Amino acid sequence: MDLNAALEKRRTFGIISHPDAGKTTLTEKLLLFGGAIQEAGAVKSNKIKKTATSDFMEIERQRGISVATSVLAFNYRSKKINILDTPGHKDFAEDTFRTLTAVDSVIVVIDVAKGVEEQTEKLVAVCRMRNIPMIVFINKLDREGKDAFDLLDEVEQKLKLKVCPLSFPIGMGYDFKGIYNLYEKNINLFSGDQKQHIADTVAIDDLADAKLEEHIGEQAAADLRENIELVEEVYPTFDRAEYLNGTIQPVFFGSALNNFGVRELLDCFIEIAPSPLPKNAEERRVDPNEKDFTGFVFKIHANMDPKHRDRLAFVKIVSGTFERNKPYLHVRHNKKLKFSSPNAFFAEKKEIIDISYAGDIVGLHDTGNFKIGDTLTSGEILNYRGIPSFSPEHFRYINNADPMKAKQLNKGIDQLMDEGVAQLFTLHINNRKVIGTVGALQYEVIQYRLEHEYGAKCTYENFPVHKACWIEADENNPEFQEFKRVKQKFLALDKQNQLVFLADSSFSLQMTQQKYPSIKFHFTSEYAE
């Protein structure tokens, strides 16, 4: 296939939300519409995710949460769609942050009853930082929830988005009659006690048409006319260029569980969402239609198959085509590697593929060559900007519980940190190791995996830290020398040997920032814009 034609067909996006907003259900319904699965419940029952289960997924089963990002692909109306379904649970947010470096656009799912929640705010802030095009899907309209206009206001205020409704609900909960699609100018009506069936799609070019009363009744018709008039007065008209620039966000209403509004979302998405976008490397900007292959590792998943203890590196292809058994340059190691069985992910199965195109995600079997952020190319020395680590929220000393297994423990910590499970800091003053995580649940994951995968045991001790800040300063500045002397017991190196200040309280951080104004304190490890 011609590269440009392949690019035009591809849509790679992530689905993000607070836990329980209906992200996995929406993913499943998109797969159903694409014909990739034949039954509802396949995602929930882990039939699809079975390629992503591993020993420590006991935690996933016990707690009913997603621990790892799943990659799912399907075809719909001649488009190849790659979905990255991310964990919603905040303890695994690092995985979601990294995944957002590999997507070209995002669908944000919001629960109609709960509105904008904390985790959604954090994830949308990352998308805004990167100008990722976003579509908002307000879910669970079959239940009683907040007023549609109140929700739109909340999305604008809390998420700092400029919204543009492309569909609007007719009623809600028990009174839910359907959805008016402003994008296609039609109404979807629903029938049945369970409202499981789309009874009809009626084309309504003019809301003044008396046909409207026939379909939804006088009161609902009057309310809808009033609401749509208000929408058209208050909100901007949709402009695709603004959406692609990340300055306007279309909003759809629906219920993923009952299939309301999902087809409208998908049909509009494949029309407006971007095909693979250019990406900046440190050396230059790389366009997807360049013929030479380049890509980067955004996720490593160990023990995809517990029997074989294998690791899979997930590579987002940025430009050109990736071919099986062709040698590619691993830039950090400066050596050529060949891959005999690259995997693509088609709904519930992994398949070995001969060729993949820019925008696709390929899984490469990894014997320990890769770490997150590594670049692969056809030969050019390029470095895609590393994937930032965010300041952890929990910090603990890690201690070896079995002195005979020190080597195994070090190897295990090293590999798990490469995989991005957590962050490792080595204190300046005594070389003790501190593990920082986004959520406390990660400590259980690390402990379990060290024991079951590396035969090493560890214990933890609390280490009171408020924030980890990456330091940017002039080495020769006397102020920086004084800072290092005075604050040495709070200084550490991360895994990339970057200097980190571990502030023990927000007050201490504030005072340090005031005392040393020439030093910059960053809350992510990647700050050179």
Write the pLDDT tens digit of every residue in 123-162.
888 888 888 999 999 998 888 888 899 999 999 999 999 9
- Surface-to-core class of residue 416, CB atoms within 10 Å of its CB (0-12 exposed, 13-18 middle, 19+ buried): buried
Categorize the per-residue pLDDT at 178 as very low, low, confident or very high, splitting at 50, 70 and 90: confident
- pLDDT value for 352: 85
Q: What is the mean pLDDT of the chain?
A: 83
- Of 454, 440, 516, the residue nearest 480 (C-alpha): 516
| Chain segment 37-68, per-residue pLDDT in tens | 554 444 444 444 443 333 344 555 555 544 45
Q: Are 56 and 449 in contact (CB under 8 A)?
A: yes
Categorize the per-residue pLDDT at 408 as very low, low, confident or very high, splitting at 50, 70 and 90: very high
Q: Are 185 and 200 in contact (CB under 8 A)?
A: no
CA distance 28 to 16: 14
Question: Is the alpha carbon torsion for 467, 120, 90, 300 positive or negative?
Answer: negative
CA distance 85 to 92: 13
Structure-model confidence comparison of residues 193 and 283, the more confident one: 283
pLDDT above 60 for 34: yes
Three-state SS at 65? coil
- According to DSSP, the residues that pair with 524 across neighbouring strands are 390
CA distance 30 to 34: 6
The pTM of the full predicted model, rounded to 2 decimals, is: 0.79
**CA of residue 521 relative to chain centroid, distance:** 26
- pLDDT value for 192: 47
Domains delineated in the chain: 3-177+236-272 (3.40.50.300), 279-377 (2.40.30.10), 394-522 (3.30.70.3280)
- pLDDT value for 250: 95
Virtual CA dihedral for 331, 333, 339, 345, nearest 10 degrees? -60
- Where is 230: in which H helix or E strand? helix 218-234
CA distance 217 to 191: 14
Q: Are 301 and 314 in contact (CB under 8 A)?
A: yes
Extract the tokens encoding 186.
């039609």
CA distance 98 to 299: 7
CA distance 380 to 394: 39
Q: Are 282 and 385 in contact (CB under 8 A)?
A: yes
CA distance 171 to 143: 10
What does the buried/exposed string (b/e) look like for 250-282 if buried means 16 or more CB atoms within 10 Å of the residue's CB? bbbbbbbbbbbbbbbbbbbbeebbbbbbebebe
Question: Helices (H) and strands (E) in the chain — how many of each?
Answer: 14, 31
- Of 161, 181, 69, the residue nearest 116 (C-alpha): 161
Question: Is the alpha carbon torsion for 525, 292, 243, 176 positive or negative?
Answer: negative
- Where is 406: in which H helix or E strand? helix 406-418
CA distance 388 to 130: 12
| DSSP structure class, residue 389 | P
- pLDDT value for 29: 83
One DSSP character per residue, 107-153 reads: EEEEETTTBS-HHHHHHHHHHHHTT--EEEEEE-TTS----HHHHHH
Categorize the per-residue pLDDT at 529 as very low, low, confident or very high, splitting at 50, 70 and 90: very low
Q: Are 297 and 339 in contact (CB under 8 A)?
A: no
Question: Is the alpha carbon torsion for 246, 19, 39, 175 positive or negative?
Answer: negative
pLDDT above 50 for 196: no
**CA of residue 490 relative to chain centroid, distance:** 32
Strands (E), 183-242: 186-191, 197-203
Q: Are 493 and 425 in contact (CB under 8 A)?
A: yes
| Chain segment 2-23, per-residue pLDDT in tens | 888 999 999 999 888 887 888 7
